[in-house]
């Protein structure tokens, strides 16, 4: 378990005191002990030298009484003096303080030379240690003998120990007193810090209604004698006025803490009531949590709005059928909409954070990277139409890439927007086709109109000649050929006129089944010769419609002829009629078992003069005329090869013509 | 280890608690009784303790070494504490050779049969010496000898020649008797009695003091000599002398006298000995040389037997 702040402070405080005490104790005790022992030793030397000087006269007089008195007096000076004795110049004891005889060993235990002032030795007498001092007794240069003095070292030690114990007691007392004083000083501080810590934890848990500082006892309204109840600081016992915005004191500067604090510091309220650092910290913490609470509330509201806006934006983006993406400056996808996900058939999470290399084929990725790099470098938007293979075939995409500028010269990212224009492309192609056909039609009509008159004259004169020549003659045959070919030319001209809608339409109400039946009656025999069977499945009820019956019959003839040409021999052609999927529509299906149409050709079959037949077998106008007649009747024609109803491996072609019955429409709305 | 430094600090401080140094083992159980061994054939030599033992030793140590060497005798200086002790020791044969003033001599001669055999010539070249009567130089009430009446007097010792006997005779010659003094005190012993007289007067404890001539030179390093005034000088009497105790082997006395007479002040070694002893020569002497002193004693009423 880790120590708390208070424990650490106390531990550190007491450790410091203890270390300081120990250092002082050990260091000073050593110094004291050394100096004390030195002092004790010096005392021995001093006593010895002094006694030596006093011993001269009695020694000269050989006054043993005085000598005895002197040595006895010396021993009585203190408990630490063990013995004193005097040796003569030969080292024999003259006088001593021992009770029962003189210890022989002491004679030689210490010796002092004539040139020495004193000699000190430590003697071990078994249970005690003795400092033995030997001092020579001189009269002038004549040595009378030696004075010896013995001091208990243990007594000296005791004196030292007494001082050390006093030192220890003093230091411990000092630590104790310092500890009490320190505790008294530290306690309020550590309590405040503990409370601050608790409040901070509460704040971290989300509770910002914390009260760290004690309830305020001295307040601004008392000092200023203020009665402004509207002031936010008035009767607020928890927050100091200088932390609060919008206080109404005349000396206050408007604004938040940062703006007003400089002026507040000059205010007598601040000078009088601002506490110590810890109290100020607690008060500022309370103010901070209060401010934080307000800011947090604003932030939450802003976040809520932001989330709403974000969701709205995402919904809008996702609702847009176009695909939209945002890449960062490294080409990494940052955001994409649903359309983009749909296009790549991936989830959003699988796209965000990836690059082109991760999402597209190598060739495509290289191309896109090249484009992106160019935009990043040139900052010029890119607009292009892109053809790409999708899961449902080829797609045409209209793509716009726009750089997102961070600064004037720096591109932050890239917004890419794309739209599927496959259908538009088809319509565009159809429009082009229609325009082309319209031009051809106008040209053909003009040519046909100009050729029709000379052809009539040629036919007229050829028929006149036939009346004039013999029917068996060669001339008759030749003229007959001219007339026949002229009629063929007239037919072509008529077809051209039909295609260019220049021919007149005769509108009537008729049964489509009947019209088809009339056509089939006409061709059935011819087709059967090549073993081509014509079948029909008419709807049970008559499918009445308004339109040009002859033109529509021409349509069916053209389609049956094309079917016959595709079969050549041994096959069948099926005519089927039924009501359309939409009310008032008639659906006619003509399918054959012929060679079918290749994918390349199927789109060109309605173009004028486009034919796969030989030079003399077709004009290339049949299906163009058919397309024109159906358009004239506001219908549609679609071609499927192989037929929709058949199996894929089957050959053949199916044309489905859907015509509005026109029965509910007013007269004259049909083109023509 | 997190708190290792604290333990390290603690142990680094521990050596401060220990005691070092090696002690010599001594057995105190073996003991002996102290018995002073007397040296055989010792000739004891004593200087009348008019000064401290140290001064006595300093003055005569070289001389004794000379005598020992010159005579081949085992001469040893001993130090009686008082004049009385000195005299008694002569009677007890503890002092063989006594160096004393003539007043003591006439006493030990009278009491114990000591015989004078030599006397000294003082550093001033005289074979006699006198006593001095001193007072503080700033004591205006004492200008002449007669001013000494009713004054307190400190003398060296009742047995002192220059310090008491000669001045007392001098006072009597001038009509001043003991009763004329407010107080007569003697210098406390033992030893250094001449110096103590000077110091007592210098300190103002006594009005006048009596000393033998030459004492002021001895104390010149202790006090300001110019603060002391010599009121009067006594007549001159025979100076310090050597006496042999009764029955001391005459050969020994002769040997010593012979050695004394050999001392020549012009000899460098001898001069050092003589200067140290504070005289320049030792000459032969006889008991009759001191009759004049005996007469003085009789005059002042001092019994030689007391």
Query: Which residue of A61, A104, A121 is in closest CB contact with B79?
Result: A61
User: Is A124 within 8 Å of B26 when comparing Cβ atoms?
Assistant: yes
Contact residues, chain A, for B191 at CB < 8 Å: 57
With both helix axes pointing from N to C terminus, report the angle between B53-71 and B250-262 in degrees, rounded to the nearest 10.
100
> Tokens standing for A408?
């004037």
Q: What is the mean pLDDT of residues A70-74?
A: 92
Contact residues, chain A, for B54 at CB < 8 Å: 56-57, 60, 139
Contact residues, chain A, for B10 at CB < 8 Å: 22
CA B269 to chain A, closest CA, distance in angstroms equals 17
Element (H, E) at A185: helix A153-204
Output the pLDDT for position B19: 45
Q: Got the DSSP string for A9-77?
A: HHHHHHHHHHHHHHHHHHHHHHHHHHHHHHHHHHHHHHHHHHHHHHHHHHHHHT-HHHHHHHHHHHHTT
Which CATH number covers residue A514?
3.30.565.10
Q: Is residue A232 part of a domain?
A: yes
A51 and A152 share a domain?
yes
Q: How would residue B47 be classed by pLDDT, with cut points 50, 70 and 90? A: very high
Dihedral of CA A358/A361/A364/A367: which sign? positive
Element (H, E) at A130: strand A129-139
Q: Is the Cβ of B26 closer than 8 Å to some Cβ of chain A?
A: yes
CA–CA distance, A372 with A124 (Å, rounded to integer): 103
Contact residues, chain A, for B52 at CB < 8 Å: 57
Output the pLDDT for position A662: 82
* Contact yes or no for B244/B114 (Cβ under 8 A): yes
Output the pLDDT for position B68: 94
Contact residues, chain A, for B31 at CB < 8 Å: 98, 100-104
Can you give the three-state secondary structure of chain B, one letter per residue?
CCCHHHHHHHHHHHHHHCCCCCCEECCCCCEECCCCCCCCCEEEEEECCCCCHHHHHHHHHHHHHHHHHHHCCEEEEECCCCHHHHHHHHHCCCCCEEEECHHHHHHHHHHHCCEEEEEEEECCCCCEECEEEEEECCCCCCCCHHHHCCCEEEECCCCCHHHHHHHHHHHHHCCCCHHHCCEEEECCCCCCHHHHHHHHHHHCCCCEEEEECCHHHHCCCCCCHHHEEEEEECCCEECCEEEECCCCCHHHHHHHHHHHHHCCCCCHHHHHHHHHHCEEEEEECCHHHHHHHHHHHHHHCCCCCC
Q: How would residue B4 be classed by pLDDT, with cut points 50, 70 and 90? A: low
Which CATH number covers residue A497?
1.10.287
A669 and A527 share a domain?
yes
Q: How would residue B15 be classed by pLDDT, with cut points 50, 70 and 90? A: very low
Q: Is the Cβ of B35 closer than 8 Å to some Cβ of chain A?
A: no
**pLDDT, tens only, A299-342:** 999 999 999 998 898 888 888 888 899 999 888 999 999 888 88
CA B15 to chain A, closest CA, distance in angstroms equals 9
Output the pLDDT for position A58: 87
Query: Which residue of B10, B17, B31 is in closest CB contact with A104?
Result: B31
Q: Is the Cβ of B76 closer than 8 Å to some Cβ of chain A?
A: no
Where is the domain boundary, A368, A393, A420? A420
Q: Is the Cβ of B19 closer than 8 Å to some Cβ of chain A?
A: yes
Q: Residue B135 forms beta bridges with which residues? A: B208, B229
Element (H, E) at A397: strand A393-405
CA–CA distance, B213 with B234 (Å, rounded to integer): 10
* Contact yes or no for A84/A107 (Cβ under 8 A): no
Q: Is residue A89 part of a domain?
A: yes
- B24/A504: higher pLDDT: B24
Tell me the residues of chain B between 92 and 121 that have a Cβ less than 8 Å away from chain A: none
A498 and A514 share a domain?
no
Output the pLDDT for position B241: 93
pLDDT at A672 over 50: no
**pLDDT, tens only, A416-447:** 998 888 888 888 887 887 777 777 767 777 77
Q: Is the Cβ of A23 closer than 8 Å to some Cβ of chain B?
A: yes
Output the pLDDT for position B114: 95
Interface residue of A139, A141, A144 to substitute, partner B, most B CBs within 10 Å: A139
Query: Which residue of B10, B26, B56 is in closest CB contact with A123?
Result: B26
Interface residue of B16, B52, B191 to substitute, partner A, most A CBs within 10 Å: B16
User: Is B61 within 8 Å of A103 when comparing Cβ atoms?
Assistant: no
Query: Which residue of B6, B9, B30 is in closest CB contact with A105?
Result: B30
Closest residue, chain B, to A122 (C-alpha)? B23
Can you tell me whether residue A456 is helix, strand or coil?
helix
CA–CA distance, A151 with A122 (Å, rounded to integer): 9
Q: Is residue A173 part of a domain?
A: no
**pLDDT, tens only, B79-102:** 888 888 899 999 999 999 999 989
Can you tell me whether residue A218 is helix, strand or coil?
coil
Output the pLDDT for position B232: 95
A155 and A265 share a domain?
no
Q: Got the DSSP string for A336-396?
A: E-HHHHHHHT--HHHHTT--HHHHS-HHHHHHHHHHHHHHHHH---EEEEEEEEETTEEEE
Can you tell me whether residue A116 is helix, strand or coil?
coil
Q: Is residue A86 part of a domain?
A: yes
Contact residues, chain B, for A92 at CB < 8 Å: 34, 37
> Look-up: residue for tokens 């006895």?
A72
Q: Is the Cβ of B58 closer than 8 Å to some Cβ of chain A?
A: yes
Output the pLDDT for position A503: 58
Q: How far is CA A172 from CA A169, A605, B195, in A?
A: 5, 118, 60
**What is the bridge-based pairing of β-strands A411-420 and A323-328?**
antiparallel
Q: Is residue A181 part of a domain?
A: no
**pLDDT, tens only, A33-64:** 788 778 878 888 999 999 999 998 888 888 88
CA A131 to chain B, closest CA, distance in angstroms equals 9
Output the pLDDT for position B39: 77
Output the pLDDT for position A390: 66
- A498/B89: higher pLDDT: B89
A16 and A150 share a domain?
yes
pLDDT > 70 fraction of chain A, expressed in percent and rounded: 93
CA–CA distance, A99 with A121 (Å, rounded to integer): 23
Q: Is the Cβ of B30 closer than 8 Å to some Cβ of chain A?
A: yes
For chain B, the straight-line distance linking the first and the last C-alpha, in angstroms and rounded, comes to 96
Output the pLDDT for position B183: 94
- A396/A390: higher pLDDT: A396
User: Is A26 within 8 Å of B6 when comparing Cβ atoms?
Assistant: no
**pLDDT, tens only, B231-263:** 999 999 998 999 999 999 999 999 999 999 999
Interface residue of B7, B23, B62, B192 to substitute, partner A, most A CBs within 10 Å: B23
User: Is B28 within 8 Å of A103 when comparing Cβ atoms?
Assistant: yes
For chain A, the straight-line distance linking the first and the last C-alpha, in angstroms and rounded, comes to 101
Contacts 24+ apart (CB under 8 A), A327-330: A327/A372, A327/A413, A327/A414, A327/A416, A328/A412, A328/A413, A329/A376, A329/A411, A329/A412, A329/A413, A330/A355
Q: Is residue A650 part of a domain?
A: yes
Contact residues, chain B, for A105 at CB < 8 Å: 26-28, 30
A516 and A425 share a domain?
no
Mean pLDDT, chain B, whole residue set: 88
User: Is B21 within 8 Å of A122 when comparing Cβ atoms?
Assistant: yes
pLDDT at A240 over 90: no
pLDDT at A458 over 60: yes
> Tokens standing for B170?
């001098």
Output the pLDDT for position A490: 80
Output the pLDDT for position A255: 78
Element (H, E) at A528: helix A512-529
Q: Which domains does chain B have, with CATH numbers?
A: 42-127+238-300 (3.40.190.10), 131-235 (3.40.190.10)
Where is the domain boundary, A485, A503, A521? A503
Output the pLDDT for position A665: 44
Query: Which residue of A56, A96, A103 is in closest CB contact with B30?
Result: A103
Output the pLDDT for position B255: 94
Q: What is the mean pLDDT of residues A102-127?
A: 90
Q: What is the mean pLDDT of residues A231-253?
A: 83
Query: Over the range A79-99, which residues count as b (16 or more CB within 10 Å of their CB) and which as e?
Result: ebbbbbbbbbeeebbbbbbbe
Is ipTM over 0.85?
no
Among candidate residues A113, A105, A151, the one with its CA nearest the CA of residue A135:
A113
Q: What is the mean pLDDT of residues B130-137?
A: 95
Q: What is the mean pLDDT of residues A159-165?
A: 78
A583 and A494 share a domain?
no
Output the pLDDT for position A391: 65
- Give the least confident one: A284-288, A608-612, B9-13, B92-96: B9-13
Question: Residue B146: CB partners within 8 Å, gap ≥ 6?
Answer: B174, B175, B176
Q: What is the mean pLDDT of residues B286-305?
A: 89
pLDDT at B173 over 80: yes
pLDDT at A496 over 60: yes
Where is the domain boundary, A471, A503, A535? A503
User: Is A130 within 8 Å of B26 when comparing Cβ atoms?
Assistant: yes
> Tokens standing for A485?
């070919």
Q: How would residue B16 be classed by pLDDT, with cut points 50, 70 and 90? A: very low
A159 and A28 share a domain?
yes
> Tokens standing for B187?
């210098």
Q: Is the Cβ of B1 closer than 8 Å to some Cβ of chain A?
A: no
Domain around A67: 5-165
Query: Which residue of B19, B61, B81 is in closest CB contact with A63?
Result: B81
Contact residues, chain A, for B190 at CB < 8 Å: 61
A99 and A28 share a domain?
yes
Q: Is the Cβ of B140 closer than 8 Å to some Cβ of chain A?
A: no
pLDDT > 90 fraction of chain A, expressed in percent and rounded: 18
* Contact yes or no for A634/A671 (Cβ under 8 A): yes
**pLDDT, tens only, A186-231:** 787 778 888 888 888 888 888 888 888 777 778 888 888 888 888 8
Q: Is residue A554 part of a domain?
A: yes
Question: Residue A311: CB partners within 8 Å, gap ≥ 6?
Answer: none
pLDDT at B229 over 90: yes
User: Is A22 within 8 Å of B19 when comparing Cβ atoms?
Assistant: no
Contact residues, chain A, for B53 at CB < 8 Å: 56-57, 60-61
**pLDDT, tens only, A514-533:** 999 988 888 888 888 888 89
A46 and A160 share a domain?
yes
CA B285 to chain A, closest CA, distance in angstroms equals 28
Contact residues, chain B, for A27 at CB < 8 Å: 13, 16
Mean pLDDT, chain A, whole residue set: 84
Q: What is the mean pLDDT of residues A580-589?
A: 89
Q: Is the Cβ of A61 closer than 8 Å to some Cβ of chain B?
A: yes
pLDDT > 90 fraction of chain B, expressed in percent and rounded: 62
Q: How would residue A669 be classed by pLDDT, with cut points 50, 70 and 90? A: very low
State residue A587 phi and psi, 5-degree precision.
-110, 125
CA–CA distance, A254 with A297 (Å, rounded to integer): 22
Q: How would residue B17 be classed by pLDDT, with cut points 50, 70 and 90? A: very low
Dihedral of CA B275/B278/B280/B282: which sign? negative
- Give the least confident one: A231-240, A484-493, A612-621: A612-621
Q: How many Cα atoms sit within 13 Å of B154 on the Cβ side?
A: 22
With both helix axes pointing from N to C terminus, report the angle between B102-112 and B83-91 in degrees, rounded to the nearest 10.
40
Output the pLDDT for position A268: 83
CA–CA distance, B42 with B46 (Å, rounded to integer): 13
A465 and A487 share a domain?
yes
User: Is B61 within 8 Å of A124 when comparing Cβ atoms?
Assistant: no
State residue A134 phi and psi, 5-degree precision.
-115, 120
Query: Over the range A448-465, which residues count as b (16 or more CB within 10 Å of their CB) and which as e?
Result: beeeeeebeebbeebeeb
Q: What is the mean pLDDT of residues B1-8?
A: 56
Contact residues, chain A, for B276 at CB < 8 Å: none
Q: Is residue A203 part of a domain?
A: no
Query: What does chain B come to in residues?
Result: 306
Can you tell me whether residue A609 is helix, strand or coil?
coil
Closest residue, chain A, to B11 (C-alpha)? A26
CA–CA distance, A26 with A196 (Å, rounded to integer): 41
Q: Is the Cβ of B191 closer than 8 Å to some Cβ of chain A?
A: yes
* Contact yes or no for B266/B132 (Cβ under 8 A): no
A251 and A360 share a domain?
no
- In chain A, the number of structural domains is 5
Among candidate residues A343, A254, A250, A243, the one with its CA nearest the CA of residue A291:
A243
- To the question of pTM greater than 0.95 for the whole model, the response is no
Q: Is the Cβ of A322 closer than 8 Å to some Cβ of chain B?
A: no
């Amino acid at each position: 378990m880790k120590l708390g702040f208070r424990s650490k402070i106390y531990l550190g405080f007491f450790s410091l005191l203890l270390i300081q005490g120990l250092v002082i104790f050990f260091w000073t005790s050593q110094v004291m002990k050394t100096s004390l022992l030195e002092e004790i030793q010096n005392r021995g030397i001093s006593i010895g030298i002094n006694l030596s000087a006093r011993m001269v006269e009695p020694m000269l007089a050989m006054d043993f009484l005085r000598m005895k008195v002197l040595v006895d007096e010396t021993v009585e000076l203190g408990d630490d003096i063990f013995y004193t004795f005097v040796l003569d110049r030969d080292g024999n004891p003259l006088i001593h303080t021992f009770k029962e005889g003189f210890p022989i060993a002491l004679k030689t235990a210490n010796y002092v030379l004539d040139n020495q002032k004193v000699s000190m030795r430590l003697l071990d007498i078994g249970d005690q240690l003795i400092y033995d001092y030997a001092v020579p007794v001189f009269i002038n240069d004549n040595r009378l003998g030696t004075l010896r003095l013995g001091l208990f070292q243990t007594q000296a030690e005791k004196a030292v120990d007494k001082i050390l114990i006093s030192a220890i007691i003093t230091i411990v007392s000092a630590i104790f007193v310092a500890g009490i004083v320190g505790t008294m000083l530290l306690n309020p501080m550590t309590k405040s810090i503990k409370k601050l810590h608790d409040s901070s934890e509460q704040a971290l848990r989300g509770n910002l209604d914390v009260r760290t500082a004690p309830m305020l006892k001295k307040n601004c309204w008392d000092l200023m004698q203020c009665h402004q109840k509207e002031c936010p600081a008035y009767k607020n016992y928890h927050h100091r006025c200088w932390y609060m915005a919008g206080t109404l004191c005349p000396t206050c500067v408007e604004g938040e803490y940062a703006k007003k604090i400089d002026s507040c510091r000059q205010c007598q309220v601040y000078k009088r009531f601002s506490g110590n650092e810890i109290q100020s910290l607690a008060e500022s913490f309370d103010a901070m949590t209060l401010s934080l609470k307000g800011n947090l509330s604003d932030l939450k509201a802003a976040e809520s709005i932001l989330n709403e806006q974000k969701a709205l934006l995402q919904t809008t983006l996702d609702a847009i059928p176009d695909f939209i993406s945002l890449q960062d400056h490294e080409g990494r996808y940052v955001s994409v909409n649903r359309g983009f996900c749909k296009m790549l058939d991936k989830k959003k999470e699988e796209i965000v954070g990836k690059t082109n290399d991760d999402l597209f084929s190598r060739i495509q990725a290289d191309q896109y990277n090249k484009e992106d790099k160019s935009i990043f470098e040139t900052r010029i938007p890119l607009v292009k139409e892109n053809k790409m293979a999708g899961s449902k075939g080829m797609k045409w995409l209209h793509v716009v890439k726009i750089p997102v500028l961070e600064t004037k010269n720096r591109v932050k990212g890239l917004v890419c927007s794309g739209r599927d224009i496959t259908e538009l492309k088809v319509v565009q192609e159809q429009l082009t086709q229609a325009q082309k056909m319209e031009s051809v039609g106008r040209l053909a009509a003009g040519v046909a109109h100009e050729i029709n008159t000379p052809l009539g004259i040629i036919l007229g004169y050829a028929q006149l000649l036939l009346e004039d020549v013999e029917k068996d003659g060669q001339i008759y045959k030749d003229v007959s050929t001219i007339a026949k070919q002229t009629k063929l030319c007239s037919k072509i001209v008529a077809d051209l006129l039909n295609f260019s809608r220049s021919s007149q339409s005769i509108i009537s109400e008729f049964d489509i089944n009947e019209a088809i039946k009339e056509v089939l009656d006409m061709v059935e025999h011819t087709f059967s010769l090549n073993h081509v069977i014509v079948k029909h499945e008419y709807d049970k009820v008559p499918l009445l419609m308004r339109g040009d019956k002859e033109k529509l019959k021409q349509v069916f003839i053209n389609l049956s002829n094309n079917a016959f040409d595709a079969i050549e021999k041994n096959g069948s052609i099926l005519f089927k009629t039924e009501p359309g999927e939409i009310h008032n529509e008639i659906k006619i299906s003509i399918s054959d078992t012929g060679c079918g149409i290749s994918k390349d050709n199927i789109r060109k079959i309605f173009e004028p003069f486009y034919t796969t037949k030989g030079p003399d077998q077709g004009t290339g106008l049949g299906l163009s005329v058919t397309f024109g007649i159906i358009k004239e009747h506001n219908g549609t024609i679609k071609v499927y090869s192989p037929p929709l109803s058949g199996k894929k491996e089957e050959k053949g072609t199916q044309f489905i013509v859907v015509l509005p019955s026109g029965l509910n429409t007013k007269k004259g709305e049909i083109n023509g | 280890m997190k708190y290792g430094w604290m333990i390290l600090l603690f142990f680094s401080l521990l050596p401060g608690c220990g005691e070092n140094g090696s002690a010599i083992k001594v057995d105190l159980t073996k003991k002996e009784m102290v018995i002073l061994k007397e040296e055989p054939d010792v000739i004891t030599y004593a200087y009348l303790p008019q000064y401290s033992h140290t001064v006595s030793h300093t003055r005569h140590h070289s001389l004794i070494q000379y005598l020992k060497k010159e005579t081949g005798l085992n001469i040893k200086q001993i130090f009686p504490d008082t004049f009385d002790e000195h005299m008694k020791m002569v009677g007890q044969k503890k002092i063989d050779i006594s160096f004393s003033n003539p007043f003591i001599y006439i006493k030990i001669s009278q009491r114990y049969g000591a015989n004078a055999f030599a006397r000294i010539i003082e550093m001033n070249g005289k074979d006699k010496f006198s006593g001095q009567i001193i007072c503080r130089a700033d004591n205006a009430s004492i200008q002449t000898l007669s001013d000494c009446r009713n004054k307190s007097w400190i003398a060296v010792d009742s047995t002192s020649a220059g310090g008491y006997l000669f001045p007392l005779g001098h006072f009597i010659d001038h009509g001043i008797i003991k009763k004329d003094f407010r107080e007569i005190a003697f210098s406390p012993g033992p030893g250094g009695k001449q110096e103590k007289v000077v110091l007592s007067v210098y300190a103002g404890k006594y009005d006048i003091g009596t000393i033998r001539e030459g004492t002021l030179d001895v104390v010149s390093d202790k006090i300001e000599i110019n603060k002391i005034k010599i009121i009067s000088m006594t007549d001159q009497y025979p100076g310090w002398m050597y006496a042999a105790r009764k029955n001391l082997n005459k050969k020994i006395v002769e040997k010593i006298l012979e050695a004394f007479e050999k001392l020549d002040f012009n000899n460098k070694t001898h001069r050092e000995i003589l200067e140290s002893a504070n005289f320049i020569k030792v000459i032969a002497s006889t008991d009759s040389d001191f009759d004049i002193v005996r007469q003085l004693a009789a005059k002042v009423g001092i019994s030689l037997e007391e």
